[in-house]
Structure 1
Amino acid sequence: MAASLPLLPSREQPIFTSRAHVFQIDPATKKNWVPAGKQALTVSYFYDGTRNSYRIISVDGAKVIINSTVTPNMTFTKTSQKFGQWADSRANTVFGLGFTSEQQLTKFAEKFQEVKEAAKLARDRSQEKTETSSNHSHESSHETPSSPQASSVNGTDDEKATCPPAIETLLKNDSDHSKVAPAQGPTPVKKWEQELQSLGENNARLSTALQESTNNVEHWKKQLLDCKEEGEKLREKILELEAQCTDVNQEKERNTRLSRMVKQLEAEINKKEQELQRLREEAQVIPQLMEQCEAFRERLQAAENTNADLEKKAQLLQTDVEESRQQQGKLRAQLSAFLQILDGKIDELHGFRQGLAKLGLDN
């Protein structure tokens, strides 16, 4: 997957493109995910019409992040609502894709299954053509089938798994032929011995390849278990994150209520500030009012002093009035006595007048 290699030949055409965050399994631990970039990258399916193959390719600038050929034995697994992964035995790694929505993940998984089926169909057709050509070659030249068996060493894991029984059958048939060969002369025996030796070497190579594939299967089973454990951990983390999201939503609601309370308090504070400003303005008048109060206090004190003097004078006047009343009472008594005396004198004068008038009439 070197960046200098021609990654996208002209014969390959993109058939599906999406964007996702790309991850690779940590080669040291085989458990943790390592991000391939800081941002989402373009991930595309490419079809090679010449080779009839499909590849998943992602490039970050001049760096190749994913160059994975889709084979029929690959499986794309959804580990969460927005995350999926697949294992690439040729690259000896596991790729993971994190999408922004569940719909994008579903479309990518459906396209993976479609490409996988197409790759399987292409492989089956290729095997049919290989078998047909090999049968024609066997019938025309009457040669042993060692060449097709040898070519399967570099085939897929399924082909490796099915090769040893065919070799055993061929060896058995060749042994039966070798029992009849001595009657035909030394040349066929030597020929069959060479063919048996060649088949034995092929069988050894195929056994080695089968052992390697078995080891790879065990290795991938172990990686699959590790991936499942990692998936369980990720599910637990997702549950924790969902719980945290619930807490965050509750916290948002609480913050909303607090924001409303803060706004109400700010409104009340504004009212209080306005009232405080009014009180400050009134407080500026207080010194003048204090001066006025002091003046009023002085005037009140003076009035109280004047009132005290007036009360003293009133008391003196009242005393004088009492004395004058007493004197008036005495004068009234004296006047009454004088009037009584005057009335007596008047009566006497009236009687004297009447006597004088009578005397005048008599005279």
Structure 2
Amino acid sequence: MSSTTNREQPIFSTRAHVFQIDPVTKKNWIPASKHAATVSYFYDATRNVYRVISVGGTKAIINSTITPNMTFTKTSQKFGQWADSRANTVYGLGFASEQNLSQFAEKFQEVREAARLARERSQDKTELTNPALNITSQQIVPSPIISSNGPGDEKLFRSQSAEMELTTERERVKKMLSEGSVCEVQWEAEFFSLQDNNNKLVAALREANTNVEKWKKQLAGYQEEAEKLQHRVTELESQTTQEPNAEPGKDELGERLQDLEMLLKSKEEEILLLKGQKPDLMELESEREEMLQRLQEFEERNQGLEQQLQRAEQQLRDSVSERDRVQGEIGRAGEALDVKICELNDLRQGLARLLDSN
């Protein structure tokens, strides 16, 4: 971890999804990473400072120094947030369970209390060792401001103004690039969410299709078996009517006939039960058609998002090329400015020598 040194030691770690508040709207959450990341409390024994740090990929997505005036707020059973005025942002954490959220909140309270005690001890120690700190700010004599009305100062001021304009242009280009990156991250997050929903719908649709086919096969098997039993009962009845004098096997045939009739009756009951479940199959069919329609809508929406993502990438490439062009112009302007400054210095030195010689 590049943001921590050997003097800092981790005192607590957990896993959570990291978010930051949208700097523009101050309402929406922007995911800082695609997956859950490790969030840890670190303690710097040398400076007596506590920090919350999380690294996503190669960069730190959380680097927040805990101060006594910070507050960790639970906004739901698995989500909490705190504001960091130094970083000028609000961090949000989504946990896998309510227990993980409670553990993190308790540790935040402990660390905040420890930071408060550390600040009080530091203030007491400073007051004891540095009594000169009681001097009021009115007793400090301000340093004199050196001014000059020479002929070269006006040109130098104009050069400084041009340099300030170039610096403002650089900041504007950086802001454009950062806004493009934020839009791209939002579109990617929405695209991944839609992809996840699409996969869930496809899995549910496949499961419904499997159940429908299985129930259809089972119903067909029961109907076929019932037809065979009905055919067998008809054959036995015809045999009993054709052989009225076969007294020795009459009882056996009668018992067998009763067994077959009972079996047939049970199968007919099962068939009626399955026919009673037929509306459920119709409902599953309608749900299947609805899911297919929703899946098609999600695919169309995904295509639209892909086109938006392509347009955003094109805009980002245009912004990068524009940034390179502006940087080139800034470099050329800087070189020209350096030349002008050197010329002005030479002119001032020449004027100074001329005044000395006169």
TM range (shorter): 0.3 to 0.5
Structure of greater Rg: 1
Normalising by structure 1, report the TM-score. 0.42
Higher relative contact order, structure no. (Cα contacts within 8 Å, ≥ 6 residues apart): 2
